[in-house]
Amino acid sequence: MNLPGSGRCSRGTMSTINPMNVAVIGAGSWGTALAYLLADKGFPVTLWAYEPEVVKSVNEDHENTMFLKGIRLPDNLRATGHLQEACVGRDMIVCVTPSHVVRRVMTQAAQWLPEGVPIVSATKGIENDSLKTVSEVLEEVLPIKYHPYLAYLSGPSFAREVAEHVPTAVVAASYSEKLSLQVQEAFRHHYFRVYRSHDVVGVEIGGSLKNVIAIAAGIADGMGFGHNARAAIVTRGLAEMSRMAVAKGANPLTLAGLSGMGDLVLTCTGGLSRNRQVGMQLGQGASIGSILADMSMVAEGVKTAQSVHDLAKKIGVEMPICDGVYSILYEGKTAKQAMMDLMGRELKRESFGF
């Protein structure tokens, strides 16, 4: 793998690799925050943005005024609207596009991807039509020569807090221990701790499904329910995430970690959670159409709710909380009725056999 060798990066990173020339594909809040993190380590970073106004604001004002307003970006971070320019000659590619455009963007980027360098996905979601995770999509659209270099970054991490140097811990997952170590080292910073995992499926399922559970938690908050309801949704939501993960071949213990419980708690309780905010407005009676019309950023849980509903039916996994969110978003059920249906289900024994 063509990662540079020894050396030390600037600004207290504790890193032992020389500066890497990095491309970050996707300039939403999370993509911009990761680009900021890598540039803050002293790496030259090129940020690909779909929106021309984002390219302009990053290059001229050193700020992504559309998606991460108020964060001054380093001088060694520049933006481009051309995928070829972003990809060619890089030492690492980081994909942070919304899940519903990963297939299109990475299919196009494939012709320019360098060989033998890490390709790190930090996207969370499940594709609607194919019901594939991001790893499955990437393995489908990228030539097989790239597959050994695929890794996945997930965990509890609000973009703005990362950009503000708030201590954060995430997990890098790959089937290759060597690649996991290299990605771990590439992203580590004095405010950004990276663990590693072999369980790509578990890490991806946790990062995807927690967004749907966060909408449910937000709905309960919007309806004026208290801490009891939120705790029940988080706990039983984790059980649903674990059932789905195990059905897909994951280790259930992965869901007890950063990409499962960690991310779930953050997204269900944090004020910066877009998915929780969507849920709160639904709980207060707003329609999903009006909510989305007022949002400039993607709430992945809205699309993932459909994917999870369809995937659960396909593989035979019981997901009552996720089904309730789906029924509100796509079947017109009221939040009150969905909550009554959840509470009125047949009584069961609590089991951890998933």
Residue range 80-92, pLDDT digits in tens: 999 999 999 999 9
Using 50, 70 and 90 to split pLDDT, how confident is the model at 17?
Answer: low
Judge contact between 280 and 217, C-beta under 8 A.
Answer: no
pLDDT value at residue 352: 63
pLDDT value at residue 10: 40
Is the pLDDT assigned to residue 210 strictly greater than 70?
Answer: yes
Burial (CB < 10 A; 0-12, 13-18, 19+), residue 193, is middle
pLDDT value at residue 328: 97
The sheet with strand 192-197 has its strands ordered as 77-80, 45-48, 22-25, 92-95, 119-121, 150-154, 168-173, 192-197
Q: Residue range 6-35: average pLDDT?
A: 74
C-alpha distances out from residue 170 to 26, 34, 158, 177, Å: 19, 12, 11, 16
What amino acid positions are annotated as catalytic residues?
A: 210
Q: Residue range 289-295: average pLDDT?
A: 92
Per residue in 301-351, pLDDT tens? 999 999 999 999 999 999 999 999 999 999 999 999 999 999 999 999 987
pLDDT value at residue 111: 97
How far apart are the C-alpha atoms of 127 and 308, rounded to whole Å?
A: 9
Q: What is the pTM of this model?
A: 0.93
pLDDT value at residue 351: 75
Using 50, 70 and 90 to split pLDDT, how confident is the model at 62?
Answer: very high
Q: Residue range 223-233: average pLDDT?
A: 97
DSSP one-letter code for 62: S
Nearest to 70 by CA among 190, 159, 188: 159
How far apart are the C-alpha atoms of 267 and 30, rounded to whole Å?
A: 14
Percentage, residues of the chain above pLDDT 70: 94
Q: Which domains are seen in the chain, by residue range? A: 22-198 (3.40.50.720), 206-343 (1.10.1040.10)
DSSP one-letter code for 126: B
Per residue in 145-193, pLDDT tens? 999 999 999 999 999 999 999 999 999 999 999 999 999 999 999 999 9
